[in-house]
Amino acid sequence: MVKAVVLGAAGGIGQPLALLLKANPLVTELGLFDIVNTPGVAADLSHISTPAKVEGFLPPDDGLKKALAGADIVVIPAGVPRKPGMTRDDLFKINAGIVKDLAAGIATTAPKAFVLVISNPVNSTVPIVAEVFKKFGVFDPKRLFGVTTLDVVRASTFVAEILGDLSLSKDVVVPVVGGHSGVTIVPLLSQSSHPLPAGFAKDSYDTLVNRIQFGGDEVVKAKSGAGSATLSMAYAGAEFAAKIIRAVKGEKGIVAPSYVSVEADAAGGAALTKELGQELAFFSSNVELGTDGVTKIIPLGKITEAEQTLITAALPELVKNIETGVNFIAAAYSTEEPRL
Ligand SMILES: NC(=O)c1ccc[n+]([C@@H]2O[C@H](COP(=O)([O-])OP(=O)(O)OC[C@H]3O[C@@H](n4cnc5c(N)ncnc54)[C@H](O)[C@@H]3O)[C@@H](O)[C@H]2O)c1
Ligand SMILES: O=C(O)C[C@H](O)C(=O)O
């Protein structure tokens, strides 16, 4: 039995993500929470002939608690998306508070659930969830994940395009490490399962890296004010959630990049810190998944000089983003008691 819950389930990501989770035969219960429209979304999905029992909840009458009761996996795409000209950090003002309150709900109702954070800026919202969980005394670093899968999905697609065969994209695996915004997104193309063509020019490499780092902007621009990536994100979120569920069910050897606490695996985290040459509380790296969440943080391994340059550029930005999230919770709880 697996209960999955989507917080922000009526949104641009939430609805297709809920659809894909409903289509996953391993999900037996699906809880949908949003501040609007979840009864309709739930009624609609509930007619689909797959095992999951679907229920929609709104804030009145303890809706958040009811949605979260018994949750095994909670995915959070709640919050505002970008408009052209905005950075992900511009979303912090609104989304930090939303994520803080939802995290308090999870901490008090489903503290053992695996939590997958999609709401931007991920580099800061994941530390927010961690800090809230610490305040409630329930933080388990093995169970908290920033979803960076869309960067991995994009890298696979763009490399397959360059190789001239999109049918390869489902097999192309490119580790994307660091974080989830601009320069903090670092594709390790030298470790791609499908190498770039021999003699791939330096300027073409730079263009590819830039497209992976700023793929989100491409969609924001094309949607011209109507939001950011939703369908590709729902696909990526469902893929990552499916990996967690398979690992929880006992499948061995599942590896995926995710933005996790370096405390999730002391030895792997220490090895990663040594490679980075700097202490960072969170970093996206390949992680191995097991029944209790992260079993191993897999260090970067051999990278090229160009990739090292990208990592060096990412670090100061990551430090700042993590601090922003941590400081937000310290300030919030200096004037209020942690409570749901
Ligand atoms: N991690 C990633 O790779 C990635 C990719 C795409 C988008 N995002 C982020 O995901 C978030 C959602 O994007 P979207 O396009 O779905 O936005 P959206 O506006 O379409 O949907 C957001 C939903 O959240 C709901 N919501 C707002 N406050 C809430 C609360 N307190 N509790 C529950 N639900 C609440 C809204 O009612 C809405 O239905 C944005 O922050 C966006 O930047 C992340
Ligand atoms: O770009 C955005 O704001 C949304 C998301 O983070 C993305 O990468 O598409």
Ligand 2 atom at shortest distance from the alpha carbon of 86: 3
Secondary structure of residue 204 in the 3-state scheme = helix
Asked if the model's pLDDT at residue 339 lies above 80, the reply is no
pLDDT, position 181? 96
CA distance linking residue 316 with residue 262, whole number of Å: 17
CA distance linking residue 239 with residue 150, whole number of Å: 10
Asked if the model's pLDDT at residue 338 lies above 70, the reply is no
Asked if the model's pLDDT at residue 184 lies above 70, the reply is yes
Q: How many CB atoms lie within 10 A of CB 199?
A: 6
pLDDT, position 336? 73
Reply yes or no on domain 149-322 having CATH 3.90.110.10: yes
pLDDT, position 334? 86
Mean pLDDT value across residues 298-319: 97
Instruction: Dump pLDDT digits (tens) for 116-169.
Output: 999 999 999 999 999 999 999 999 999 999 999 999 999 999 999 999 999 999
Asked if the model's pLDDT at residue 324 lies above 80, the reply is yes
Inter-residue contact 129 to 115 (CB < 8 Å): yes
pLDDT, position 340? 62
Asked if the model's pLDDT at residue 210 lies above 80, the reply is yes
Which residues line ligand 1 at a C-beta cut-off of 6 Å? 7-8, 10-14, 33-36, 77-82, 91, 95, 98, 102, 118-120, 122, 147, 150, 180, 227-230, 233
In the chain, which segments carry CATH 3.40.50.720?
A: 3-147
Asked if the model's pLDDT at residue 252 lies above 70, the reply is yes
In CATH terms, the fold of domain 3-147 is Rossmann fold (3.40.50)
Nearest CA residue ID for atom 5, ligand 2: 216
CA distance linking residue 138 with residue 248, whole number of Å: 19
Greatest pairwise CA separation for the chain in angstroms: 62
Mean pLDDT value across residues 258-263: 98
In the chain, which segments carry CATH 3.90.110.10?
A: 149-322
Angle between helices 92-109 and 122-135 (to 10 degrees): 40
Asked if the model's pLDDT at residue 335 lies above 90, the reply is no
